[in-house]
Amino acid sequence: MVPTQADHWRLGDIVVLRIGSAAAAHVAIYAGGGYFVHSAEHLGVVKVPGLTKGRPATGTWGFPCPPGCHPGPPPLTPADCKAVVYPHGSGAYGEVIHAADGLPLARTAVLSSEAHVIDLLDPIYTHIETVR
């Protein structure tokens, strides 16, 4: 994670914001034009214009979109995607791709087994394939 400012965020970047002196921060995906996709306990996954509700962010950090990945065409939903699980060393990792054109959108970290990757992706994506 690296310190970033809003003018450096790109589509698909994971952004972490701290508001005021709170110890916790909020994590979201930057959707462009000042909008974020994030999960709210009472609303589920939503796209909103900003996360600070008028309060200044006292810290911002980001995880840039991984090289070779793209934010995908808007509006993008999990139903538009396919998850593929690949072996890697003694574990596995997952890659989410746009089902229509194969465009890579995101990757998981390398986990200890295919089963762990599938457990991570299964609540989100209905189509998961494994490559051996």
Q: Which residue has the higher pLDDT, 44 or 101?
A: 101
How confident is the model at residue 116, as a pLDDT? 94
Contact by Cβ (8 Å): 85, 92:
yes
How confident is the model at residue 87, as a pLDDT? 96
Average pLDDT in the 95-121 region? Answer: 90
Which of 42, 103, 109, 43 lies closest to 76 in space, CA to CA? 103
How confident is the model at residue 67, as a pLDDT? 72
What is the rounded CA–CA span in Å between residue 29 and residue 62? 9
Record the pTM. 0.55
How confident is the model at residue 14, as a pLDDT? 79
Quickly state the pLDDT bin for 86 (edges 50, 70, 90). Answer: very high
Indicate the burial class of 84 (C-beta count within 10 angstroms; 0-12, 13-18, 19 or more): buried
